[in-house]
Amino acid sequence: MGRRYDPERRQRIIDAAIRVTGRDGIAGLSHRTVAAEADVPLGSTTYHFASLDELMVAALRQANEGFAAAVRDSEALADPGKDPAAELARLMGEWLGGERTGVELDYELYLAALRRPALRPVAAEWTDGITEVLARRSDPVTARALVALMDGICLQVLLTDTAYDEEYAREMLGRLLRRRETVSPDAVSG
């Protein structure tokens, strides 16, 4: 009997990896657990992803897309007449106010790069992509600081089980943006 053509299998495996990680954490992720979750033969997971790191890279890329797409697609961030700090604070609030498991999963995969060097380029892609969008409203140095501040605020909310304070986020993001306006361009680029 010939091999059954299944063009959706790779995507089902990635989706299963995200569900397994969301439910059991990185420690619960294996080719075997993903194959069971996706209802595919074990050989399918190793065919599409030779290593667990390859599977985690694909899962991280997919998981990272949600917030990055919201930032990329924000009309308010593209509008020079709108307050970018208010828009970023609003977007973070929507993201953190959504399904908590999804946000935790994003950060769990993102922080897995600390121990898994194969994930670092994907984590950097996410940071660089958002920085690029934000640099259109500031400069590359300030944009990177904005991303770091947003990560910090999100991690504090997740790790301390405190409520997200949109006004605080708007004020802190605004301070970074206002600080940029008061510093000379030479000081920012150096």
CATH classification of the domain holding 70: 1.10.357.10
Confidence of residue 180 (pLDDT cuts 50, 70, 90): low
Q: Give the residue numbers spanning the domain of 42.
A: 7-50
- Residues 42 and 70 both lie in one domain: no
Q: Whole-prediction pTM value?
A: 0.80
Q: Quickly list H helices, 31-99.
A: 31-38, 42-48, 52-73, 75-78, 84-97
On whether residue 139 sits in a domain, the answer given is yes
Rounded-to-integer distance, Cα 186 and Cα 30, Å: 50
Rounded-to-integer distance, Cα 37 and Cα 49, Å: 15
* b/e code 5-16 from CB counts within 10 Å (16+ = b): eeeebbebbbbb
On whether residue 1 sits in a domain, the answer given is no
Mean of pLDDT values over 27-35: 94
The CATH number linked to 25 is 1.10.10.60
Q: HSE on the CB side for 15, CA within 13 Å?
A: 8
pLDDT for 141: 95
- Residues 44 and 71 both lie in one domain: no
The region of weakest confidence among 41-50, 66-75, 104-113 is: 104-113
In the numeric block, which tokens belong to residue 59?
Answer: 């899962």
In the numeric block, which tokens belong to residue 83?
Answer: 């307050």
Give how many domains the chain has, as a whole number: 2
Share above pLDDT 90 across residues of the chain, in percent, rounded to a whole number: 58
